[in-house]
Structure 1
Amino acid sequence: MTGLQQPGQTGLQVEGLSRVYPSGEGEVTALRPFTHTFQPGMTAVVGPSGSGKSTLLNLLAGFDTPTQGRVLVRGTDLHTLSEAGRADFRLANYGFVFQNHNLVAILSALENVEFPLMLAGVPPKERRDRARALLAQVGLESRTTHMPSQLSGGEAQRVALARALVGNPGVLLADEPTGNLDTKTGTEVLELLLGPARAGRTVVLITHDLDVAARADYTLRVRDGEVKEEVFA
């Protein structure tokens, strides 16, 4: 495992991060205050449904605003940015893989992978070359022209992973990426996610599967909004 880095040098940190939601009966604490440095490598976040895992992921991504605390990415406090600024920052620094892959139905596999580069203003030839290279890396060089409806669940998830990586992000957030896949296909997708982690990216993986979590470098367990570090024996 990598050693601790100095503040500001690592890709992703949280300081005193918490989230409280108003409710009809007062307030609901979805995430209790915690401070943590996400090291390069893979961190698995585990816990039962309703424990606060999704709240944590949304805060790390800047999709939600903390009640207290900060999310720092390469020293930048996400929540000091405007909404448009956060969107631009995510495009430059994050990759996302979701349980249901979220591919654009009217775009081919190649066009889906190109899409973030198009938003970033990358010239057409460069973005196409980069997208083809990523699809080859995930074993789908023969499926570039296929539409999402023509792909298996595992193939669609690999396209989604290629799309997440094409911008060379420092932080990769994966929300139950193996949850809808059979064991063999899920293992293949997990191996592909471990590649960026071994290459020094910060990968945060939300999962219910303890076998998946056991493959990670670090583990956080979330229960009733409280986040604790855990070491698998």
Structure 2
Amino acid sequence: MTASVLPPTSLVTPKIQLQTENLSRTYPSGDGQITALRPFSHTFAAGMTSVVGPSGSGKSTLLNLLAGFDTPSGGTVRVGGTDIHSLSEAGRADFRLGNYGFVFQSHNLVAILSAQENVEFPLMLAGVPPKERRERARALLAQVGLEQRAHHLPSHLSGGEAQRVAIARALVSDPAVLLADEPTGNLDTRSGEVILELLTRPALEGKTVVLITHDPDVAALADYHLRVRDGEVSVEGSQ
């Protein structure tokens, strides 16, 4: 891999931990049920954890439960001691806003907002004053090398540029947990390398980065590794 876009930084103590305890998910199916995720207990260490597995194995189910987008059939997800599934739907949304960042395969930028406005968006929802959110958004865009593209709409950005804006947006609230779902899946090799380099920075800063991927080469870059098959999550060790 080429040299990092961002300067290296030292490992620091993570702000919070992401933990699961007997986390499971089943869905009704006819007279029975489908087990999408079998009971899974794990503490995600600071750094990057890859989650690999075939299509339909349960990777997306796990990610949705970790994020609080879906409700478990059993068990808990704790972030810094808070059981996120004990919160109301509105409470989970507020909690995500302050503690999570998300990067998806499709960048999910708001089409009518500029790159800078997209990065500012989570801060606007959190009630951050305009001057502060503009400064923070500009600083993140500079870190991902897009300060000159700040006022461009997503339709005027390349796929790699749009994904870099999405990473800036994910990091602008300084979240402790970053969830990335196939973030390089739609990109060419070089753009994918840049995105992975950008995701490495928060991992080095002590944040918890969970990377869903089908690519073994991408997964190999992570510090820790999980494999999902038929709803069963297994730990594959660390580097």
Is 2:56 aligned against 1:87? Answer: no
Q: Which runs of 5+ in 2 are unaligned?
A: 1-10
Give the one of 105, 114, 117 matched to 2:120: 114
CA contact (8 A) 1:103 1:160 kept: yes
**Residue equivalent to 1:75:** 81
Once the two structures are overlaid, the 10-residue window that deviates more, 133-142 or 22-31, is 22-31
Q: Quote the Cα distance in structure 2 between the aligned partners of 1:194 and 1:230.
A: 20
CA contact (8 A) 1:138 1:162 kept: yes
Kindly provide the amino acid, as one letter, of the partner of residue 136 in structure 1: A
Is 2:206 aligned against 1:188? Answer: no
Q: How does 1:1-233 map to 2 (within 5 A)?
A: 10-231=16-237
For these two proteins, the number of residue pairs brought into alignment is 227
Kindly provide the amino acid, as one letter, of the partner of residue 125 in structure 2: L
Q: Quote the Cα distance in structure 1 between the aligned partners of 2:40 and 2:237.
A: 18
Where does structure 1 differ by over 2 angstroms across 4 or more consecutive aligned residues? Answer: none
Q: Quote the Cα distance in structure 2 between the aligned partners of 1:149 and 1:24.
A: 44
Q: Quote the Cα distance in structure 2 between the aligned partners of 1:215 and 1:68.
A: 32
1:50 to partner: Cα distance: 0.2
TM-score, length basis structure 2: 0.93
Q: Quote the Cα distance in structure 1 between the aligned partners of 2:143 and 2:112.
A: 23
Q: Quote the Cα distance in structure 1 between the aligned partners of 2:187 and 2:67.
A: 24
Kindly provide the amino acid, as one letter, of the partner of residue 163 in structure 2: Q
Kindly provide the amino acid, as one letter, of the partner of residue 54 in structure 1: S
Kindly provide the amino acid, as one letter, of the partner of residue 68 in structure 1: G
CA contact (8 A) 2:223 2:238 kept: no
1:25 to partner: Cα distance: 4.5
**Sequence identity percentage:** 77
Aligned-residue RMSD, C-alpha? 1.4
1:23 to partner: Cα distance: 1.3
1:11 to partner: Cα distance: 1.7
> 1:38-69 deviations in whole A, cap 9, x for unaligned?
00000000000000000000000000000000
Q: Quote the Cα distance in structure 2 between the aligned partners of 1:179 and 1:24.
A: 34
> 1:18-44 deviations in whole A, cap 9, x for unaligned?
000011242000000010000000000
Once the two structures are overlaid, the 10-residue window that deviates more, 128-137 or 21-30, is 21-30
Q: Quote the Cα distance in structure 2 between the aligned partners of 1:131 and 1:228.
A: 38
Q: Quote the Cα distance in structure 2 between the aligned partners of 1:171 and 1:232.
A: 19
Q: Quote the Cα distance in structure 2 between the aligned partners of 1:10 and 1:230.
A: 23
Q: Quote the Cα distance in structure 2 between the aligned partners of 1:24 and 1:149.
A: 44
Q: Quote the Cα distance in structure 2 between the aligned partners of 1:10 and 1:79.
A: 17
Task: Indicate how the Cα distance of structure 1 residues 56 and 126 shifts in structure 2: closer, same or farther if over 3 A, else same.
Answer: same
